[in-house]
Amino acid sequence: MIKTLDSNILREVGTLSRAVNSINDIKYKELKLQKGQFTFLTRICENPGINLVELSNMLKVDKATTTKAIQKLIKAGYVDKKQDKFDKRGYNLTPTDKSLEVYELIIEEENRSIEICFDNFTDEEKQVVTKLLEKMSKNVENEWFKVKR
């Protein structure tokens, strides 16, 4: 007997995520942002001084992926990396003026994508979907930290 999925939810979320990211990658190409870099950039703008480990944990990616993305953002002039004052082995990431200008555009585009996703939703439906996805994310986050160790 062939196994079947209990739910298509992860496939739907994955499709939604890939579609939005593909649209964003095309739109941000003119800003010289490569695939997915806008995600790292927004989190650094929202959390100036964040370190690589914190950023990796926030985005649920491995440190090598974060390091590669940050190196490209530094080279493009979007991020500064400074040695941590208290832990000389660590580095803090801060946005440059260039990234703060781009951040505004990225947030505008993210809000536009949210508007498209929520087209024909009532306010109540928006709240319910958001709460349920937050709950699912928390469940997966716990598993991610277990597996990561």
Question: Is the overall model pTM greater than 0.95, yes or no?
Answer: no
pLDDT per residue over 81-132, tens digit each? 998 888 888 899 999 999 999 999 999 999 999 999 999 999 999 999 999 9
Cβ-defined contacts of 65-73 (< 8 Å, 24+): 66/40, 69/36, 69/37, 69/40, 70/40, 72/34, 72/37, 73/37, 73/40, 73/41, 73/44, 73/99
Domains in the chain (CATH in brackets) are 9-117 (1.10.10.10)
For residue 30, what are its two tokens? Answer: 């003119």
**What percent of the chain has pLDDT above 70?**
99
pLDDT per residue over 27-76, tens digit each? 888 888 888 899 999 999 999 999 999 999 999 999 999 999 999 999 99
